[in-house]
A and B are shown apart, each in its own frame.
Chain A
Amino acid sequence: MKILNLSSRMVALVLAASLATPAWTQNAAPTSYAIKGGKVFTLAGAAIENGTVLIRDGKIAAVGAGIAIPADAQVIDASGLEVYPGMFDPITQMGLNEVSAVSATLDVSELGDYNPELVAATAVNPASAHIPITRANGITEVIAAPGTTGFDLQSGGLIAGQASAFNLAGWTMDEMQINRSVAMVINWPSIQTRSFDFATFSIKEKPYADVKREYDKSVNALGDWMDRARHYAQAKEKGSPALYERDLKLEALVPVVQGRLPVLVVADEARDIRNAVDFCTKQNLRMILGGGAEAWKMKELLKDKKIPVVLAPTNRLPEQIDTPYDKPYTEPSELFTAGIPIAFSSFGTSFSRRLPQYAGTAVAYGLPHDEALKAVMLNAAQIFGLADQLGTLEPGKIANVIVTNGDPLELQTQVRYLFIKGQLTSTDNKHRELYEQYRKRPQPAR
């Protein structure tokens, strides 16, 4: 209708103006939006052709076809476009890593092996250049996990700290934070007989017996920490604070041993996974497996113990020479078929934007497309206990929404509109700025 068309044009003008503003700005004024005319994938039911999503005060207010649009809503014309929940990258070092080779910019792994009291949210830099770049590619929320590694970092200590979940928009962490502590990160020790000795610049072999001894020590130490945390919990519960010394580390482990905070155990090799599951079972911990490159070898065990897997990037090489060349590509499908909940993650920062590519590759090799979408938008929320707030386009949830010009997993697809915490967010970022700047460089004088 004509009136609507006029107002759409006005909206377009307003939008154009808003998109020109700096990357980290969100529109302050309107808090009510109506995304209409697009195909809406709620992930909580069938897709809605020509659907409408209403956003108000940071939350999704309503979703459906032919919903009435409130008068104060800024209308976003999504005709010919698709509407999805924003993507969720559950293992990153977002905000803790700016330039991986420059240690001054790194706050991922603290010194020492046992740092349960450290929390990622403490040090996430809301002004990181990675944040606008990542959200421009459709990722609206992430978990920053201390002690985890991308392709460009060393992994941290055994108990590396607590992972924090936050939206990729906000002036301060207070504004961004979803949940300060979603999991305790444990880097499971690995038995490595081969190591690279920099002094002689060669590969050194250590006897298995020696390495196994060190490994056992580490695992025993982990167990000791859990035991002490239990004692501490008891003392805290039963005694008065005057009678016990406050121990920040043990205090941090109390929710873990009481099963309220899951452990995100990072392990790739089959034996490590097996031992980690064994440990968590004995210690009565709620385990989430991170990485899981050989999780396919432990399918039955993981299924039996109901352990979800947050996968290392699909696009990686097989672990062993003899492993089928496509095993990393087929693993997500294999695990899904076995009934194990999976979520994709980047395990990185600068490659968080590759999240949809990892999911797409898994679809190429057998994972149903719908499941892949869930595995980048919803499953991580379920795994980390945030499903009441995120992961689907349903009323009451945080309005993290992306509007794309096609299948979000396809490589050519662009994000046209981005909503985080119910605010229209610019997709401008450092990359695009440099692009625009150098595109305009005049021809140099000869």
Chain B
Amino acid sequence: MKQATFCAAVLLFAACAPLVTGAQNPGTIFIQNATVLTVTHGNIEHGSILIRDGKIAAVGADLQAPEGAAIIDATGQYVMPGIIDCHSHIAVDGSVNEAGPAVSSMANIADVLNPDDIDIYRDLAGGVTTANILHGSANPIGGQTVVIKLRWGKPASELPFQGALPGIKFALGENPKHSNFPTPPGVTPRYPGTRLGVEEVIRQAFIEAREYKKQWDDYNQRKAAGEQNLIPPRRNVQLDPLVEVMEGKRYVHAHCYRADEILMLIRVANEFGFKVRTFQHVLEGYKIADEIAASGAGGSTFSDWWAYKMEAFDAIPYNAALMADRGVIVSVNSDDAQEARQLNQEAAKSMKNGGLSANDALKLITLNPAIQLGIDARAGSIDVGKDADLAIYNRDPLSVYAVVQKTLIDGQVYFDRQRDIAERATLAAEKQTLLDKEKKAAEAKKDEEKSEKKPETKPDKKKKPSQDGGGAFESGVAGGSR
């Protein structure tokens, strides 16, 4: 009898060990006892998620934590797929626009990712795990774009979403025709100045790209046939991405507002044999939802922005619902580091404006943007086999009262609200220490200069206090951008 009790006790202890000991096997994580919003197959009350090596290994209501797993107790909390922001400009070093030429496809966001941008962390704290980092909207054809995961603390090389196709930004309407900011005196305004010219720029660029591709195809053919002494065509960094668009290897994300310009781009795309992947903003998309659906493009829109520009004057907060109604895959995006922190709130608005169900509202910021970005095999829902990109809230994320508690990417906790709060004192102390140290050094320097009785060096009038803090042979400002 005693033996049995002893054995039972041992077994009981062994069962409890994972809860007590925590991460012995950090590759295995068990989120337990939450309301799991899978997005694809319903909500699971008192559900758990098992994560192994960064992937979702199991989801259900009757799971047991394996031994050695790190436990995240999410009792009373809600777990949803990490938010995917389909239109973001965070994490960029320098300007997001190469606004000089009308076609700036040579510029590539992937060259200038800034992993130190604090907005990465802030958006992470808003539940965002993946973002489509786009070039700005200053050009009819803008720069190349990249999808990243918000892996705060990792270097730039580890941000891109592996396997996601690269993109390129197009822009239609008022921005690329620079209607809303005056050209300074003495500067020639850049063509195009009307929507007429916007179309022409795009068509012309693709005509050149077609010609360029042909030159290379010809050259490759002749070379393969054994021809000698062939001078190859020049490589053109501006046209290469356009060739990729025509070959279906690069997604087109087109910023647009007016219904007519959206139809224009569908027509142009057809002419050159490619499809627009997403229409971004697409605030008048509701007027031509059927045409957009037929084109196969997704629509990535704002929840309720309107009236800030003429082309946004017919924007309505029912845009997402109406487009979705007609079969367009719709996502709601931010285009703004703050808006990205509240995408759960923005998605919820479509329940009020257009009557979307709660799950359909969630899709706007999870599965749908994943489909649009071609990453839905890996992200966008809580399904076995997908990446463990998750956001844990203290209540239903579609409530204005929901607060993100933790955000995970690839099964790693990248944001933890409690940890953030706990670290503040330490960081403040470190800051004060460094400030005091600098102050002391500055005072010591002053004393030193006094005792040296240095003859006053006349400030060099020629040298302006430069942005970079230096004169000769400066390479730039140290520290993170912005």
- The reply, when asked whether chain A contacts chain B directly with Cβ atoms under 8 A, is yes
Query: Contacting B399 at CB < 8 Å: which of A204, A325, A410?
Result: A410
Q: How far is it, in angstroms, between the C-alpha of A36 and the C-alpha of B345 when the chains are bound?
A: 32
Interface contact B400-A152, CB-CB below 8 Å: no
The answer to whether A321 touches B342, judged by C-beta atoms less than 8 angstroms apart, is: no
Determine if A31 is an interface residue (Cβ-Cβ < 8 Å).
no
Q: Given the complex, which residues of B lie within 8 Å of A435, measured CB to CB?
A: 286, 316, 318, 322, 354
Asked if residues A325 and B122 are in contact (CB atoms below 8 Å), the reply is yes
Tell me the residues in window 335-363 of chain A with beta carbons closer than 8 Å to chain B beta carbons: 349-350, 353-354, 356-357, 360-361, 363
Residues of the A chain whose Cβ atoms lie less than 8 Å from the Cβ of B400: 356-357, 360-361, 363-364, 409-411
Q: A101-B309, A316-B338, A441-B287 are in contact. Are A414 and B352 (CB under 8 A)?
A: yes
Pairwise interchain contact B348-A412, C-beta atoms closer than 8 A: yes
Distance in angstroms from A51 CB to nearest chain B CB is: 25
Contact B420 A363, beta carbon cutoff 8 Å: no
Give the distance to chain A from B183, nearest Cβ to Cβ, in Å: 10
Assuming A204-B467, A316-B338, A317-B337, is B398 touching A411 (CB within 8 A)? Answer: yes
Map CB proximity to A onto B117-155 as digits: 1 under 8 Å, 0 otherwise.
011011001000000000000000000000000000000
Min Cβ gap B312→A in Å is: 8
Which residue of chain A is the closest to B318 with respect to CB atoms? A435
With A413-B352, A414-B352, A438-B322 known as contacts, the answer to whether A101 contacts B310 (CB < 8 A) is yes
- Most A-side CB within 10 Å, residue of B341, B424, B427: B341
Which residues of B have CB within 8 Å of A100? Answer: 307-309
Q: Is the CB of A321 within 8 A of B305?
A: no
Q: Which 3 A-B pairs have the closest CB atoms?
A: A360-B400, A411-B348, A431-B316
Which chain B residues border A360 with CB–CB below 8 Å? 400-401
**Which residues of chain B come closer than 8 Å to A443, judged between CB atoms?**
290
With A325-B122, A439-B322 given, is the CB distance from A102 to B286 under 8 Å? no
Q: Are the C-beta atoms of A411 and B349 separated by less than 8 Å? A: yes
Contact B399 A317 (CB under 8 A): no
Other than the given A315-B338, A317-B338, A354-B304, 5 more pairs (CB < 8 A) read A364-B400, A409-B400, A411-B345, A412-B398, A441-B287
- Flag whether B314 is at the interface (Cβ < 8 A): yes
Given A204-B467, A411-B399, A438-B286, is A98 in contact with B342 using a C-beta cutoff of 8 Å? no
Shortest distance between the CB of A402 and any CB in chain B (Å): 14
Rounded to whole Å, the gap between the CB of A133 and the closest CB of chain B is: 8
A-B CB pair tally, cutoff 8 Å? 120
**Assembly CA distance A409 to B401 (angstroms):** 9
* Binary per-residue interface labels of chain B (441-457) against chain A in the complex, 1 for a CB within 8 Å, 0 otherwise: 00000000000000000
Cα(A198)–Cα(B178), bound, Å? 14
Decide: B307 and A99 in contact? CB cutoff 8 A. yes
B56 to chain A, nearest CB (A): 27
Counting CB contacts under 8 A, is A324 at the interface?
yes
B228 sits at the interface (CB 8 A):
no
A365 is an interface residue with CB less than 8 A from chain B: yes
Residues of A within 8 Å of B317, CB to CB, are 431
Bound CA span A273–B1, Å: 76
Given the complex, which residues of B lie within 8 Å of A357, measured CB to CB?
Answer: 345, 400
Chain B's closest residue to A446 (CB) is B294
Q: Let me know if A203 is at the binding interface, CB within 8 A.
A: yes
B42 within 8 A of A: no
A202 at the interface (CB under 8 A from B): yes
B342–A361 touching, CB < 8 Å: yes
Contact A349 B307 (CB under 8 A): yes
Whether B401 and A363, one on each chain, are in contact in the complex, defined by CB atoms closer than 8 angstroms, is yes
- Per-residue CB contact flags for chain B residues 288-299 toward chain A (1 = under 8 Å, else 0) read 011100100000
- Quote the shortest CB–CB distance from A206 to chain B (angstroms): 9
Shortest distance from the beta carbon of B243 to any chain A beta carbon, whole Å: 30
Please tell me if A434 contacts chain B, counting CB pairs below 8 Å. Answer: yes
Are A350 and B305 in contact (CB-based, < 8 A)?
yes
Q: Spell out B's residues near A (CB within 8 Å).
A: 118-119, 121-122, 125, 174, 179-180, 184, 286-287, 289-291, 294, 304-310, 312-314, 316-318, 322, 325, 337-338, 341-342, 345, 348-349, 351-352, 354, 398-403, 420-421, 424, 427, 431, 465, 467
A321 touches B180 (CB 8 A): no
Most chain A C-beta atoms within 10 Å of own C-beta, residue among B121, B125, B317: B317
A199–B185 Cα distance when bound, in Å, is 9
A237 near B: Cβ within 8 Å?
no
Taken together as a complex, chains A and B put the C-alpha atoms of A439 and B321 apart, in Å, by 10
Interface string of A387-428 (1 = CB under 8 A from B): 000000000000000000000011111100000000000000
Between A and B, 7 residue pairs with Cβ closer than 8 Å are: A99-B312, A101-B310, A322-B431, A364-B402, A364-B403, A410-B400, A441-B290
Q: Tell me if A205 is interfacial: C-beta within 8 Å of chain B.
A: yes
From 301 to 334 in chain A, residues with beta carbon under 8 angstroms from any chain B beta carbon are: 315-318, 321-322, 324-326
Q: How far is the CA of A321 from the CA of B424 in the complex (A)?
A: 13
Known: A411-B399, A441-B287, A443-B290. A434 touches B305 (CB 8 A): no
Chain A residues within an 8 Å CB radius of B312: 99
With a cutoff of 8 Å between Cβ atoms, the chain A residues found around residue B421 in the complex are: 324
The answer, yes or no, to whether A374 is at the interface (CB within 8 Å) is no
Contact of B342 among A151, A315, A363 (CB under 8 A): A315
Which chain A residues numbered 87 to 113 have a C-beta less than 8 Å away from chain B? 98-102
B465 contacts across to A, CB distance below 8 A:
205, 207
Question: Which residues of A are found within 8 Å of B180, using beta-carbon distances?
Answer: 101
Residues of A close to B313: CB separation below 8 A:
99
Given A207-B465, A441-B287, are A431 and B352 neighbors across the interface (CB < 8 Å)? Answer: no
**The one of A207, A325, A413 that contacts B420, using a Cβ cutoff of 8 Å:** A325
Q: Are B351 and A411 in contact (CB under 8 A)?
A: yes
* Closest beta carbon of chain A to B474's beta carbon, Å: 14
A98 touches B307 (CB 8 A): yes
Separation of A149 and B314 alpha carbons in the complex (Å): 22
Assuming the contacts A317-B119, A435-B316, asked whether A203 and B467 have C-beta atoms less than 8 A apart, the reply is: yes
**CB <8 Å contact, A431 and B318:** yes
Is there an interface contact between B308 and A350, defined as CB atoms closer than 8 Å? yes
Is A241 part of the contact surface with B, judged by Cβ < 8 Å? no
- State whether A412 and B351 are in contact (beta carbons under 8 Å apart), knowing that A324-B420, A438-B322, A439-B322 are contacts in the complex: yes
Residues of B within 8 A of A439 (CB): 322, 325
Please encode chain A, from 142 to 178, with 1 for each CB lying within 8 Å of some chain B CB and 0 for all others. Answer: 0000000001100000000000000000000000000
Report the bound CA distance from A431 to B320 in whole Å. 13
Indicate if the CB atoms of B352 and A411 lie closer than 8 Å: yes
